[in-house]
């Protein structure tokens, strides 16, 4: 296991695991491979999930070619004691850019030897002109979008759409947020829909582009005792399907519009039971049957979902 390893570029070497931790293997060092490369080559779910006697493929390339590739692609190899925040600071990039460039879902899941792409500067022509009074806020422990918004005298929906956040839960400690000034407005494009209007009394809704109605549908709002709240809102979350834990249901084409206590009310298609798949309220669109949300049939819900965007105005009339 500790003998001299052949240095054949782009070769694969098979070894037997004689110890229980991949991080202490001699082959990754002697063969010039990294832990991350071995994990990928063997389809391992985690660098810790190996066993004595398991045979591993060790991807091998020359040290020169490895270094050249790292320089060309601006690749950083995680070292002992590194955090995403410390790497971002040392490399002169934001934590958000580093997370997005590497598709990282949990910023705490790093391991020694992992390869990270360090993003270069974005194409300036693709970026919107910054608002004059934009400020930056780094998320701290205990922060929520609502609390941050209150601190800067703005709304959670405004911060969400300025940072393209699809759910208020998708922020984390160290994330850098743009806090837009009062004059900031979401970018528009030709043909963009501009607002969605719901009438509780008529159980009907309309999708507008400017002053033109582009869709006119029946809908359902909240049943007695769980009525939909009238008011002016913005779409604050957007998910292909959302889970309602209180009722154990899935709600397709979810567009969240306001918080009601610990739950978010929104617009969605026909919900279905998470265990049986039974479709709740099918055939009842046009009747106030929901627990507070706005219900559309699946065809119209998908149409709206495809056109809607974070920050789009939603007006719920009595």
Residue 68 lies in a domain: no
Tokens 């839960």 belong to: 169
* Tens-digit pLDDT profile for residues 226-284: 889 999 999 988 888 888 888 888 999 999 999 887 788 999 999 998 888 888 888 89
CATH number of the domain to which 275 belongs: 2.40.440.10
Residue 292 region by backbone torsions, left for phi larger than 0, else alpha for psi between -120 and 50, else beta: left
Residue 129 lies in a domain: no
CATH number of the domain to which 154 belongs: 3.10.350.10
pLDDT of residue 133: 58
| Residue 255 and residue 303 in one domain | yes
Tokens of 129: 């002109």
| Residue 269 and residue 304 in one domain | yes
The dihedral built from the CA positions of residue 232, 234, 237 and 241, taken in this order, carries a sign that is: positive
Residue 127 lies in a domain: no
* Distance separating alpha carbons of residues 210 and 273, to the nearest angstrom: 37
**What does the buried/exposed string (b/e) look like for 298-313 if buried means 16 or more CB atoms within 10 Å of the residue's CB?**
bebbebbbebbbbbbb
| Residue 38 and residue 100 in one domain | no
pLDDT of residue 19: 33
**What does the buried/exposed string (b/e) look like for 157-187 if buried means 16 or more CB atoms within 10 Å of the residue's CB?**
bbbbbbbebbbbeebbebbebbbbeeebebe
| Residue 251 and residue 287 in one domain | yes
Tell me the C-alpha to C-alpha distance, in Å, between residue 231 and each of 257, 313, 314. Answer: 10, 11, 8
| Residue 228 and residue 301 in one domain | yes
Q: Please count the residues of the chain.
A: 318
If you average pLDDT over residues 172-198, what whole number do you get? 74
Residue 18 lies in a domain: yes
Residue 190 lies in a domain: no
Strand partners, 266: 256
* Tens-digit pLDDT profile for residues 203-228: 999 999 888 888 999 999 999 888 89
Q: Which residues contact 190 (CB under 8 A, 6 or more apart)?
A: none
Contact 195, 234 (CB under 8 A): no
The dihedral built from the CA positions of residue 156, 162, 167 and 173, taken in this order, carries a sign that is: negative
Chain Cα centroid distance, residue 130 = 23
In the chain, how many domains are there?
Answer: 4
| Residue 203 and residue 311 in one domain | yes
Tokens of 40: 């990928």
* Distance separating alpha carbons of residues 218 and 318, to the nearest angstrom: 15
Contact 99, 52 (CB under 8 A): no
* Distance separating alpha carbons of residues 263 and 244, to the nearest angstrom: 9
First to last CA, the chain: 75
Strand ranges for 73-183 from DSSP E: 75-77, 115-117, 135-138, 176-179
Pairing of strands 115-117, 249-260: unpaired
* Distance separating alpha carbons of residues 271 and 251, to the nearest angstrom: 4
Strand partners, 274: none
| Residue 215 and residue 173 in one domain | no
Residue 188 lies in a domain: no
Contact 238, 221 (CB under 8 A): no
This prediction has a pTM of 0.45
| Residue 169 and residue 231 in one domain | no
| Residue 169 and residue 82 in one domain | no
Structural domain of residue 224, as residue ranges? 195-317
Which of 41, 62, 83 is the last residue in one of the domains?
A: 62
Q: Pick the closest to residue 114 from 34, 191, 44, 189 (CA basis).
A: 34
* Tens-digit pLDDT profile for residues 37-89: 676 666 665 666 666 666 666 654 433 333 333 333 478 888 887 888 778 77
**DSSP secondary structure string for all residues of 146-171:** HHHHHHTTS-HHHHHHHTT-SSTT--
Residue 126 lies in a domain: no
pLDDT tier at 315, thresholds 50, 70, 90: very high
Tokens 């965007």 belong to: 309
SS3 state of residue 256:
strand
| Residue 293 and residue 247 in one domain | yes
- What DSSP element (H or E) covers 304? helix 298-307
* Tens-digit pLDDT profile for residues 141-182: 888 887 888 788 777 777 877 777 766 667 888 888 888 776
Residue 130 lies in a domain: no
């Amino acid at each position: 296991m500790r003998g001299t390893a052949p240095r054949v570029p782009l070769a694969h070497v098979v070894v037997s695991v004689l110890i229980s931790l991949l991080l202490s293997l001699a082959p990754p060092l002697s063969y010039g491979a990294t832990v991350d490369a071995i994990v990928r080559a063997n389809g391992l779910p985690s660098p810790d999930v190996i066993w004595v006697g398991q045979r591993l493929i060790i991807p091998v390339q020359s040290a020169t070619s490895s270094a050249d590739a790292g320089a060309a692609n601006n690749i950083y190899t995680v070292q002992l004691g590194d955090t995403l925040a410390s790497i971002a600071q040392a490399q002169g990039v934001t934590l958000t850019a580093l997370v997005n460039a590497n598709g990282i879902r949990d910023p705490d899941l790093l391991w020694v030897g992992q390869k990270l792409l360090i993003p270069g500067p974005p194409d300036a022509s693709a970026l919107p002109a910054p608002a004059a009074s934009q400020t930056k806020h780094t998320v701290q422990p205990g922060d929520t979008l609502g609390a941050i918004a209150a601190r800067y005298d703005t709304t959670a929906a405004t911060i969400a759409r300025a940072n393209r956040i699809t759910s208020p839960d998708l922020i984390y400690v160290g994330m850098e947020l743009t806090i837009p000034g009062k004059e900031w407005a979401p970018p528009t494009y030709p043909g963009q829909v501009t607002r969605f209007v719901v009438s509780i009394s008529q159980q009907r809704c309309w999708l507008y582009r400017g002053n033109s109605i582009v869709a006119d549908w029946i809908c359902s709002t909240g049943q007695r005792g769980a009525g939909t709240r009238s008011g002016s809102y913005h779409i604050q979350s957007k998910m292909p399907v959302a889970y309602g834990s209180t009722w154990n249901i899935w709600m397709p084409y979810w567009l969240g519009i306001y918080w009601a206590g610990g739950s978010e009310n929104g617009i969605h298609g026909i919900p279905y039971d998470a265990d049986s798949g039974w479709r709740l309220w099918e055939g009842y669109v046009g009747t106030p049957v929901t627990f507070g949300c706005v219900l559309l049939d699946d065809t119209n819900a998908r149409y709206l979902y495809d056109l809607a965007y974070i920050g789009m105005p939603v007006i719920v009339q009595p």
